[in-house]
Amino acid sequence: MGMTALTAACLYNPLERIERPVVLIEKGAIVKLAPAEEMQVPQQARLVDLADAVLVPGFVDIHIHGSADHDVMENNASGEGAMECLLARHGVTSYFPTTVTAPLDKTLSALEHLAELIENSAQRPGDGRARPLGIHLEGPFISHLRRGVHPPENLLPPTVESFDRFWQAARGHIRMITIAPELPGALEVIAEAAGRGVCVSVGHSDADLFTTRAAVAAGARHATHVFNAMRPLGHRDPGIIGEVLTDARLSADIIADGIHLAPEIVQLFLKSKGVENTVLISDATAATGMPDGRYRLGTLEVEVKDGACTSNGKLAGSVLTMDRAIRNVMQFGGWALAQAVRAASLNPARAAGLADQGILKQGARADLAVLGPAGEVRKTIIGGAGV
């Protein structure tokens, strides 16, 4: 692959705006990035003018169970390809396949397969598919009371031994874990996971304020789909949500589909966590990108109708895409495109400890989304491929 020079109307890296940028890409990486008036395009570079487009970092989805009729806990190579292509069409360049509580043997098998998927993807040439960079373990260390649709018979008490068994099955590729901090043994697991470089996220929890603070002291630094599957916020008993909304040490994510949270609650969240600590996720299931009908979520059957994904009447993930989440945040919270893009790129990357993701700069992998002025995805570039 030779050198390519991209030009567009503007670029959000996303910390700053550059008018009429030139982005030089070679061997899958950004070799230089500057305003057009400050850079001479090398003669050997292939020039691609993207006209009125906005260049932004590719989106990073740290919580996704599936899409395109594929669930990440299945061992299905063709399904994974279809899912990763669909993600790319919606601007996602990297993601964390996310497990759901299941029988122990199924979870261990899924972790082994996902580890193989991650390792193989690192060897893949640029093929226009989003790349899995780590595993998000959602369950089984969650609250029975706030389990959502996670099967109660498969929930487990958190122990370092159980966590290590998952870790070994995943060959160290667990990058994120959702855990209820009030469970006996949870604080020990939080400390152990954080010590291994895992992003520990509190969620599916009935924790009170002080237990949540103890979790932060133990190493938790994020919160999973805030308000959903959580002890409700009380004005005299603020609980886990009170800590999440007021502690600047915690980043936190939401499902901004207009179904999981009312637009006014999205607005409240955005004001509380701000541009630096807001993270957008899809929590998407196999039903994403598919017509209404019945699909799988781990061992569960879910039904999709009118944009809502449910199991036995409870919300069970979503059919949200990250580009739609960005546009919803702009609508619900009045955020500018650059702010909403940051919540879908740099912020999830930072929360998950992905140093070279979610930002456009010299030396970074060339993962970009090409957007229209209203935030619609026109093209996705992954590792320099797709120009």
Same-domain pairing of 190 and 298: yes
Cα 38 vs. chain centroid, distance in angstroms?
A: 35
For residue 339, what are its two tokens? 């702010």
Examine the domain organization and report whether 89 and 201 are in the same domain: yes
Question: How far apart are alpha carbons 176 and 190 in whole angstroms?
Answer: 11
The domain of 24 spans: 1-58+358-387
Question: Based on the domain organization, do 293 and 328 belong to the same domain?
Answer: yes
Beta-carbon count within 10 A of 275 CB = 15
170 and 33 assigned to the same domain: no
Domain at 378, CATH number = 2.30.40.10
Residue 18 and residue 166 share a domain? no
Phi and psi for 234 in degrees, rounded to 5? -115, 145
> Which pLDDT belongs to residue 1?
61
Rounded distance, CA 332 to CA 246, Å?
21
Residues 272 and 300 in one domain: yes
The per-residue pLDDT for range 263-302, each reduced to its tens digit, is 999 999 999 999 999 999 999 999 999 999 999 999 899 9
pLDDT at position 122 is: 85
Residues 28 and 126: their CA atoms lie apart, in Å, by 8
Bridge partners for 279 per DSSP: 253
**Closest to 4 measured CA to CA, from 356, 373, 379:** 379
Does 10 share its domain with 72? Answer: no
Asked if 127 and 25 sit in the same domain, the reply is: no
- Does position 367 have pLDDT exceeding 80, yes or no? yes
Query: How much is the pLDDT for 310?
Result: 94
| pLDDT value, residue 77 | 84
More confident residue, 122 or 368: 368
Query: What mean pLDDT is predicted for residues 6-18?
Result: 96
33 with 129, same domain: the answer is: no
Q: How far apart are CA 228 and CA 213, in angstroms?
A: 19
pLDDT score at 369: 98
Let me know whether 52 and 39 are in one domain.
Answer: yes
Exactly one of 61, 257, 283, 323 is catalytic; name it.
283
Q: What is the pLDDT of residues 204-230, one digit of tens each?
A: 999 999 999 999 999 999 999 999 999
Cis peptide before 232 (omega within 30 of 0): no
Read off the tokens for 289: 């990108």
Report how far residue 375's alpha carbon sits from residue 339's, in angstroms, rounded to the nearest whole number: 12
Please tell me the predicted confidence (pLDDT) of residue 221: 98
Average pLDDT of every residue of the chain: 96
Structural domains in the chain (count) = 2
What pLDDT, on a 0 to 100 scale, did the predictor assign at position 355?
A: 87
Q: What is the pLDDT of residues 149-164, one digit of tens each?
A: 999 999 999 999 999 9
Task: Confirm whether pTM is higher than 0.95.
Answer: yes
Identity of residue 178: T
Q: Is 337 left (phi over 0), alpha (psi -120 to 50) or beta?
A: alpha
Q: Does position 124 have pLDDT exceeding 90, yes or no?
A: no
Residue in 217, 188, 189, 216 with CA at minimum distance from that of residue 202: 216
CATH number at residue 190: 3.20.20.140
- The reply to whether 7 and 113 lie within a common domain is no
Tracing tokens 């109307």 back to the chain, one arrives at: 9
Q: Report which residue type is found at 350.
A: R
**61 included as an active-site residue:** no
Q: Using CA atoms, how far apart are residues 245 and 179, in angstroms rounded to an integer?
A: 18
Q: Could you tell me the pLDDT band of residue 90, with boundaries at 50, 70 and 90?
A: very high
Same-domain check for residues 48 and 93: no
